[in-house]
Amino acid sequence: MRKALLIGINKYKSAELNCCVNDVKSMKSVLEHNFDGSKNFHTKILLDEKATRSKIRENIKDLFSGEGEIALLYFSGHGYDDDSTDGIIISYDYKENDYGIKMSEILSEANKSKFSYKIIILDCCHSGYLGNSGIMGDTSYLNNGVVIMTASKKNEYAGEINGHGIFTNLVLEAINGGATDILGNITPGSIYSYIDQALGPWSQRPLFKANISSFISLKQCEPKITINELKDCLNLFSNDNSIYSLDPSFEKTNTLGSIHRTSEPFAKEANVELFSKLQKCNRNGLIIPYGASDMYFAAMESKGCKLTPLGKHYWKMMKEDII
């Protein structure tokens, strides 16, 4: 089971925001289904007046209760710096000296959860307090399976742009496919990497911390190459340093009577089909030509191809039955 609680507040009684409700609606849209239409996350949203202090607390407890694969919490709204030791996500009905839910309380609920993975994403000012070791004492404050991503460090503010929070806008881009690996997986680490590269050195800096011991995919996007195509190509290599030999029979334009350059042996259907897969691997950085400038000449000049470092990585994963 995968479930997500998405909270967004625009209509604060003072200092209204513009993008938080839109952030939640867009997050719901990208999380609920995989690229093929299959169900991904079961989502629940709390917006504006529904996001009271009691309702947020109640729903956070419910989110992390029970057992399942992933429990994900997303919040977009105001954050508050509570005497420099803890941060607070501000609820719709905040009042003096009771602004909302402390980040330490949220982290405590995640740490207690029996879900395999507990993911917390905060787009608010001072959200970096969630990763501050001081809020949980001197113990290991991220239990196994806990992942946190925040829009800024504890002493930074979080801005808005183009109808979304700056941070959320990048998270949405990443989940929509910007952070996918070649097999279409979106991971927390790839999301953070995408965001980190997109933000300049003078922008708000996101925070990412995790205690995970196994692979986790938040969403399946359309793969750049299918797993069967990948394995068909990787199985051509006896070891990760071997060269796979090519000849003109792999090139589809190498047919008798073609206006293009031809050479025997002429194109063979099975080899042409395999070469198409090899070229796809080449375009995705898994394979490079050996002894020639590109894959076309590697075939026409009877050279070969070999695995790149990334290709070797996937070859080893295949041999170890990880993929």
Bridge partners, 87 (sequence order)? 81
Please give the average per-residue pLDDT across 79-84, as a whole number. 75
For residue 140, pLDDT over 50 is answered with no
pLDDT score at 15 = 84
Please give the average per-residue pLDDT across 274-287, as a whole number. 97
> 256-272, pLDDT tens digit by residue?
776 677 788 999 999 99
171 or 323, higher pLDDT? 171
pLDDT score at 138 = 39
For residue 160, give Cα distances in angstroms to 56, 84, 164, 172, 193: 23, 24, 6, 14, 20
For residue 243, pLDDT over 60 is answered with yes
13 or 137, higher pLDDT? 13
Bridge partners, 4 (sequence order)? 43, 72
Please, what's the b/e burial string for 85-119 (b: 16 or more CB within 10 A of its CB; e: otherwise)?
ebbbbbbbbbeeeebbbbbbbbbbbbbebebebbb
pLDDT score at 315 = 96
Mean of the per-residue pLDDT values of the chain? 89
Distance CA 157, CA 180 (A): 28
> 178-217, pLDDT tens digit by residue?
999 999 999 999 999 999 888 766 566 788 889 988 889 9
Sequence spans of domains, the chain: 2-220, 227-319
Asked if the domains at 2-220 and 227-319 fall in one CATH topology, the answer is no
Structural element, H or E, at residue 107: helix 103-112
Place of tokens 């959200």: 127
Fold classification of 227-319 is Arc Repressor Mutant, subunit A (1.10.10)
Beta pairing class for 70-76 and 117-123: parallel
Fold classification of 2-220 is Rossmann fold (3.40.50)
Distance CA 99, CA 88 (A): 7
CB 148 within 8 A of CB 208: yes
For residue 32, pLDDT over 90 is answered with yes
pLDDT confidence tier of residue 18, bands split at 50, 70 and 90: confident
Q: Which of 282, 290, 273, 271 is nearest to 310 (CA)?
A: 282
For residue 49, pLDDT over 90 is answered with yes
